Structure 1
Amino acid sequence: MSCRLNIGARPLGDPALPDALRACRPTRNQQAEIGGILVLGSGAWFDAKGARHEEYRLVELLLISNELGIWAELSVFHDLWGQCDFRGRPQPLIHANNAPRLAAALRELDQVLGVAAEPGEVTFYGRAEGYGLAAPDIIDGLGPDLTNATFG
């Protein structure tokens, strides 16, 4: 069973949020445990000129509870956090306008969850490093072109 809860602009550290989540349990089974929460992080990013753009699913946060405890996974799906776009073109202004915001959000998430984040698995698109993305290898002024990837 799944439940959708629009938390709007409410911060994840809002003390009222746990009660709102528990209210999603089925009325016939108020003892049901919440196994996972997927937070779709719609938000804003800033282009090279500083113009704000709204973006659906800018980030995703998955929280899972099981017999081993609780773990969280943050995923980003856009090139605006990196030093180069997906075609490998450097984007220093876009990176400067957005990467510090990602770092601040990750630090805040550490604080809300009460534990320091660990980098996840390396993907085709990059790897986490500290509170951001590792710098790509730059060859002849360009990073890797990630647009012609073949999977499988």
Structure 2
Amino acid sequence: MITSEPIGDWSWEVTLSADGIRPARAVETAVAVWNVLARYGLASPAGKVSLSMRSVADMRDVRVRACGLSLEPEPLSPGTALSRAAAEADALEGDFVVDVRIECPGYWLKAGDKHRVEKLFAIQVQIWKSSLLVVTLETYSDAWLTTDTRDREQPEVFAENAPRLAAALEGISSQLGSAPTPGDPNRHATPTETGFVDPRIEGPAYDDSWGTFEIPARTSLLRSRLPASEDEYQEITEHPVRYFTVRRDGKTIGYVWASVGDEAAGYEPRTAAGVEAFEAGAEWLLRLRAAHGRGLSALAALAWVAQTPPRSEVGLIVEDVPHEVSSLDVLEELSGRY
């Protein structure tokens, strides 16, 4: 399953020379870590990079902010957006906190098939007062676990993916010259220096952690993009649901649905599609609100939205007739895995 919050994380601390280091070191380190992940198919082209630089004396004083830069094939070559941002940061004098973050698309494997996730990993590199460099690696997939976050054993998926993660962690440690510090145990899993604790041995922290925590987290992310309103359908149902697939640029980004037995309707983001699934979902939910304002039943709203979708930039419905599944949980499962 793919999550919107990290399954686990690891960090490395590197103490720099007494002479200090320039901010560009953070960018160079982030790209070096990305290259290690890419070696194992855990990072692939089209990642997004953000760079910020804030004054230590006043963290509200942001001197450099560059968001959503494309990670180009040679990201540090002269003239790229990232190299220009790094040069701008390097030109400043003073004590700063430098923060670089790369969101890494990548592939997890199942029976030899590759499944792309738009944020399989995230790399964060910080420099504090030109003396301490901290690297953090986060993952958003449970492909490295013997049991997925819905408590189902997945030995084949584990065998195909866990060694890739272990090799990448070893490669990053070799690059940085220190071993990783695993992140704290969380609601999904417990990281180790080479991957994760086997939940079959110690047992999961929570039953069905994905269903228990990820669904509310996704709902919160969607709602944060919308104004408050009471003019909308119920969010949950115990009845079967019908749904349409929403695609953009040849990629599934989510599913708009309605209950067949009560007045519930909504949108399930395909988590593997990344942030665009949530950005598009906000507009599809606004269309459902408009249907509710017209007094339409949930199923009538689904048909109306299919006929009068939002802007094409947020995706298009690809079927003429909706699919039907036995429960909303089945649709949530689909949206979280593929």
**TM-score interval, smaller chain:** 0.7 to 0.9
Structure 1 partner of 2:140 = 77
CA 1:124–1:22: 2 relative to 1, 3 Å: same
Structure 1 partner of 2:119 = 57
Structure 2 partner of 1:114 = 177
Q: CA deviation at 1:88?
A: 0.3
Rounded Cα–Cα distance in structure 2 between residues aligned with 1:56 and 1:86: 19
Confirm or deny that 1:148 pairs with 2:209. Answer: no
Rounded Cα–Cα distance in structure 1 between residues aligned with 2:112 and 2:172: 25
Alignment equivalent of 2:156, drawn from 93, 104, 125: 93
Unpaired runs of 5+ residues, structure 1, are: 11-15
Structure 2 partner of 1:44 = 107
Q: Whose radius of gyration is greater, 1 or 2? A: 2
8 A contact 1:39–1:61 mirrored in 2: yes
Alignment equivalent of 1:129, drawn from 166, 169, 192: 192
Q: Tell me the matched-pair count.
A: 143
The C-alpha deviation readout for 1:73-130, integer Å capped at 9, x for no partner, is 1111111111111110000000111011111111111122222111112111111112
Unpaired runs of 5+ residues, structure 2, are: 1-64, 218-338
Corresponding letter in the other structure for 2:127: S
Structure 2 partner of 1:13 = none
Q: CA deviation at 1:27?
A: 5.2
Rounded Cα–Cα distance in structure 2 between residues aligned with 1:139 and 1:133: 11
Q: CA deviation at 1:4?
A: 4.1
8 A contact 1:88–1:144 mirrored in 2: yes
Rounded Cα–Cα distance in structure 2 between residues aligned with 1:126 and 1:100: 17
CA 1:51–1:66: 2 relative to 1, 3 Å: same
Rounded Cα–Cα distance in structure 2 between residues aligned with 1:131 and 1:25: 32
Alignment equivalent of 2:167, drawn from 86, 101, 104: 104
Q: TM-score scaled to structure 1, two decimals?
A: 0.77
Structure 2 partner of 1:23 = 84
Corresponding letter in the other structure for 1:63: V
8 A contact 1:41–1:60 mirrored in 2: yes
CA 1:28–1:77: 2 relative to 1, 3 Å: closer
Rounded Cα–Cα distance in structure 1 between residues aligned with 2:97 and 2:202: 47
Rounded Cα–Cα distance in structure 2 between residues aligned with 1:134 and 1:9: 35
Q: TM-score scaled to structure 2, two decimals?
A: 0.37
Corresponding letter in the other structure for 1:71: V
Rounded Cα–Cα distance in structure 1 between residues aligned with 2:176 and 2:156: 31
Indicate the RMSD between aligned Cα atoms, in angstroms. 3.2
Structure number with the higher helix fraction is 2
Identity of aligned residues (%): 25
Q: Secondary structure at the match of 2:181?
A: coil
Rounded Cα–Cα distance in structure 2 between residues aligned with 1:97 and 1:55: 16
Rounded Cα–Cα distance in structure 1 between residues aligned with 2:155 and 2:187: 21
8 A contact 2:97–2:128 mirrored in 1: no
Q: Secondary structure at the match of 1:24?
A: helix
8 A contact 2:146–2:200 mirrored in 1: no
Q: CA deviation at 1:139?
A: 9.0
Confirm or deny that 1:6 pairs with 2:70. Answer: yes
8 A contact 1:138–1:144 mirrored in 2: no
